[in-house]
Structure 1
Amino acid sequence: MAEVRRNLAAKLPEAAPFFEEFLRSVPLQIHRPTSHHQERARELADAKDVPILAAAIGAGARLLVTHNVRHFRSGQGVRVVRPRTLIEKVRAWMGSFGT
């Protein structure tokens, strides 16, 4: 969370209140990855990013949303997508309710 807050403050400060509102509206889960999850993540992420992907794998996440897609590869049940891709998919999904 600290990294997201730092990035928003530096690159998109007007979005920070929306991020905080989002955090208040969804249940958060903190997951400490096991060595097994880290081993599974090693083949799919740069060394410094292994703990992030390992936590996603261990938590059963289906999506990892990041601008840093070149340091992650989809696998182990986790699809890596950019925020823009997620927003486009959600908009399309929500638009389907109007038809």
Structure 2
Amino acid sequence: METLFFVRRSVRLSVVRSFLRYNRITRKQYDGVLAEELSLRAAAAFAKALSPTAAQDRLAKRQRLNYLHNLFFFDSATAKTLACTASPVLSSSFPAADTAMPEISGC
């Protein structure tokens, strides 16, 4: 059982099954490790579902960069407003920009 602490989580269940097959651990120990691993995987899946998507991350990064760029030309309030909203003129000038940028926290 001590060796399982040194085994990567991605292969831990395979190792435990092998230990059970070769009678290195009991069925009760196997069930305990299996329950622990399944609960860890469920918690990781739940945390992943709550994290922002890659598209939201890119959008937030683009808005921060737009804000920093606009600071060269405008005061901070105007720069923030321009970074958080997309105008049709900017969208047509830059095809990579979204036509409607949703607001994020801080905007």
- Taking structure 1 as the reference length, the TM-score comes to 0.25
Q: Which structure has greater strand proportion?
A: 1
Larger Cα Rg: Structure 1 or Structure 2? 2
- Taking structure 2 as the reference length, the TM-score comes to 0.23
